[in-house]
């Protein structure tokens, strides 16, 4: 029976005996000689923060990534997790277990691993401590933990067992262990535990938010769903895959309400901004936590799809989608300005912990300021009717308009943004890690050839080769270089203090993106992609009778598409956007909501609104690999970091008197 005693029971027994020995009249034990362990003994105390990516409420979610990231890049870990999840994505199981709710509100307190914690201002952190080295078989360890806040906590147990406890945040905890084995003198080993909690904020636009990668992607039906085009009549109807579980009318003559349709929507970390756990900002923060075991990472995602510097960072913007609940949809209408949200969070944190600071800002912004989506629309909308309508409504933008905005409005916006970020970061803008965009239309180092491939989800789409080539050249030779100048106060960009105003700039991923644009294809792509997404642009059955039951020309059900399997393209095309998200602009005012979900406008938006021409999860992982060394350098962390011990642990051994 003694061998079945829990570690907690043994520790309590030892503590009880120690108390009895100290009582008046009791026989005093013979003192065991204790000596400091010599460096040659190899005995060391190792410790690590448990569940140290604090956005995750459950440690199992963090351990999934810590294991995947062991000696691997973020990209390699994403690819492995994609295969492990059969392409359905790891985030689908995690998105409901976070310390931030779908409306973007921080849960204060947040219950993490059954313990209530303040998310923004933690007062303690869970750690695992273990003795390593040449531990004698059967040796006993007498542990002591002293944080200066009261009497030291102590426990005695087998040296082979790790010990879990919570340590005070804001100061050191002194650890000592006496290792006893037989008649040999006990050896004493000491260490200091001091957790560094890093506060990181993510700001910016759709590239920063993770657009194109819903945490729980849409489930597709093998049957068809009818959309109208602007041509009208039967000739203006076409069928595309429907949503799995949708029981409403699928024919254009059988209108149905949005409320019925949206019950099967894709799910996002934050629907109003299409924030995703796959975003490079989240993956960078998560990788920092995984690589550095003495850190805890408190991460605040604020980036929002559609954001510009003016409307998004400084001012509010329209919400993308509604939060879908069991009782219906909750629509916010507008999303608060990101800088205002960050200031409010910092003020709340400083009220409780005056020394709490913002350690790092991850930032990507500027594409919407030059109306990049308007240039994309100009490239892919080919039908004359749609082009005329979209030009009138401002959906299509000219390259000249974008060039003018790049030269005038964007520099002014960056200057204003610098002045707003300075006081939040103690005047040190090097702690802003600006990660540039990758060119989305390069493959094999050359511009994509254009054509309908990847965009035939809508009959009016066809990437015009000439317009595409002009945009690719503009992005490569003008837009991306100007972003670097703006971030680094170079190339004629004037800054008040050229040294202090320089952001940390990241673009090392751009060479990789040049091989993986939206037109990239490989013999190793998923089987569904190779068989069903036609390079000729005829992926869908044009016959509305047969397409109603099977819209894919390949004859394979759309339910076989897997958005998170590895593939050559790291940029979502319009087909990917529809098959992954199939998103409608539910956050628009009711006056702008069509009454019929077969509407022609929604046929267009469902193909692009969920992330067309945005990085896939692999693309975001590659961006995180580029941003990670820069972030670690800014934070003063060694690039490799201590080895992370992540083997499965036995049931937690509690220090008497501590909470877990």
Residue 74 to residue 624: CA distance in whole angstroms? 7
Provide the pLDDT for residue 154.
95
**239-248 contacts at long range (C-beta below 8 A, 24 or more positions apart):** 239/540, 239/541, 239/544, 239/547, 239/548, 239/551, 240/457, 240/540, 240/551, 240/578, 241/551, 241/552, 241/558, 241/578, 241/579, 243/218, 243/219, 243/582, 244/219, 244/220, 244/559, 245/219, 245/221, 246/221
Nearest to 103 by CA among 298, 302, 364, 348: 302
Provide the pLDDT for residue 37.
59
Residue 174 to residue 171: CA distance in whole angstroms? 10
- Tokens representing residue 378 in the block: 């100009």
How confident is the chain (660 residues) per 10-residue block, as mean pLDDT? 36 34 40 58 92 98 96 96 98 97 94 97 97 91 94 94 96 96 88 97 98 97 94 83 93 83 89 96 98 97 97 94 74 89 97 96 98 94 90 89 95 96 96 98 94 96 96 97 96 90 97 96 98 97 96 97 98 97 75 77 88 97 98 85 32 38
Backbone angles phi, psi at 98, to 5 degrees: -125, 165
- Tokens representing residue 120 in the block: 């923004």
Question: Could you tell me if 488 and 504 are in contact, meaning their C-beta atoms sit under 8 angstroms apart?
Answer: no
Residue 65 to residue 85: CA distance in whole angstroms? 13
Identify the DSSP state of 360. Answer: E
Provide the pLDDT for residue 320.
86
Residue 435 to residue 508: CA distance in whole angstroms? 9
* Angle of CA points 35, 40, 44, to nearest 5°: 75
Provide the pLDDT for residue 16.
35
Residue 295 to residue 651: CA distance in whole angstroms? 23
DSSP three-state, residue 517: coil
Residue 177 to residue 144: CA distance in whole angstroms? 6
Place of tokens 């069509």: 594
User: What predicted TM-score, i.e. pTM, was given to this entire model?
Assistant: 0.90
Residue 254 to residue 249: CA distance in whole angstroms? 5
Residue 631 to residue 432: CA distance in whole angstroms? 9
Separation of CA 548 from chain center: 37
């Amino acid at each position: 029976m003694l061998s079945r005693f829990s570690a907690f029971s043994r520790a309590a027994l030892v503590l009880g005996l120690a108390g009895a020995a100290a009582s008046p009249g009791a026989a005093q034990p013979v003192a065991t000689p204790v000596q400091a362990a010599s460096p040659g003994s190899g005995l060391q105390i190792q410790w690590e923060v448990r569940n140290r990516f604090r956005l995750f409420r459950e440690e199992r979610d963090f351990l999934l990534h810590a294991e995947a990231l062991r000696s691997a890049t973020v990209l390699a870990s994403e690819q492995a997790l994609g295969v492990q999840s059969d392409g359905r994505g790891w985030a689908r199981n995690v998105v409901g277990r976070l310390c931030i709710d779908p409306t973007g509100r921080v849960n204060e307190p947040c219950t993490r691993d059954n313990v209530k914690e303040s998310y923004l201002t933690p007062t303690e952190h869970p750690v695992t401590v273990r003795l390593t080295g040449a531990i004698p078989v059967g040796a006993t360890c007498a542990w002591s933990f002293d944080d200066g806040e009261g009497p030291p906590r102590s426990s005695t147990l087998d040296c082979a067992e790790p010990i879990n406890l919570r340590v005070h945040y804001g100061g050191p905890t002194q650890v000592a262990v006496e290792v006893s084995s037989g008649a040999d003198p006990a050896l004493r080993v000491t260490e200091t535990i001091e957790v560094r909690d890093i506060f990181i904020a993510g700001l910016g636009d759709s590239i920063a938010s993770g657009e194109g990668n819903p945490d729980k992607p849409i489930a597709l039906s093998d049957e068809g769903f009818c959309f109208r085009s602007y041509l009208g009549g039967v000739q203006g109807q076409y069928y595309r895959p429907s949503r799995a579980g949708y029981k409403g009318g699928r024919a254009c003559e059988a209108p149905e309400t949005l409320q019925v349709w949206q019950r099967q929507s894709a799910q996002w970390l934050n629907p109003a901004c299409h924030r995703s756990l796959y975003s490079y900002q989240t993956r960078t923060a998560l990788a920092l936590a995984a690589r550095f075991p003495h850190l805890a990472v408190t991460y605040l995602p604020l980036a929002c799809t559609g954001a510009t510097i003016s409307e998004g960072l400084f001012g509010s913007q329209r919400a993308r989608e509604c939060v879908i609940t069991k009782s219906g949809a909750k629509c916010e209408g507008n999303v608060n300005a990101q800088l205002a949200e960050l200031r409010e969070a910092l003020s709340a944190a400083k009220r409780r912990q005056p020394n709490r600071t913002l350690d790092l800002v991850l930032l990507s912004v500027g594409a919407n300021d030059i109306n990049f989506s308007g240039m994309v629309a100009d490239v892919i909308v080919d039908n004359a009717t749609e082009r005329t309508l979209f030009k009138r409504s401002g959906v299509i933008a000219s390259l000249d308009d974008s060039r003018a905005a790049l030269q005038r409005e964007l520099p002014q916006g960056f200057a204003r943004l610098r002045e707003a970020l300075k006081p939040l970061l103690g005047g040190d803008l090097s702690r802003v890690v600006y990660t540039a965009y990758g060119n989305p239309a390069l493959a094999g180092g050359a511009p994509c050839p254009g054509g309908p491939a990847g965009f035939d989800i809508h009959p009016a789409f066809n990437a015009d080769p000439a317009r595409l080539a002009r945009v690719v050249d503009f992005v490569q030779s003008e837009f991306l270089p100007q972003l670097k100048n703006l971030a680094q106060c170079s190339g004629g960009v004037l800054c008040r203090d050229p040294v202090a105003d320089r952001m940390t700039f990241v673009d090392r991923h751009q060479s990789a993106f040049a091989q993986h644009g939206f037109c990239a294809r490989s013999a190793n792509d998923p089987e569904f992609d190779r068989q069903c997404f036609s390079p000729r642009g005829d992926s869908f059955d044009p016959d509305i009778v047969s397409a109603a039951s099977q819209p894919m020309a390949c004859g394979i059900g759309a339910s076989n598409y897997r958005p998170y399997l590895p593939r050559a393209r790291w940029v979502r095309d319009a087909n990917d956007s529809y098959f992954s998200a199939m998103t409608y602009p539910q956050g628009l005012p009711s006056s702008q909501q069509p009454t019929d979900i077969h509407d022609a406008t929604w046929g267009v938006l469902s193909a692009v609104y969920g992330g067309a021409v945005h990085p896939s999860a692999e693309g975001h992982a590659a961006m995180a690999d580029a941003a990670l060394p820069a972030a670690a350098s800014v934070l003063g962390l060694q690039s490799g970091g201590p080895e992370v011990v992540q083997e499965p642990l036995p049931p937690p051994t509690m220090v008497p008197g501590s909470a877990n």
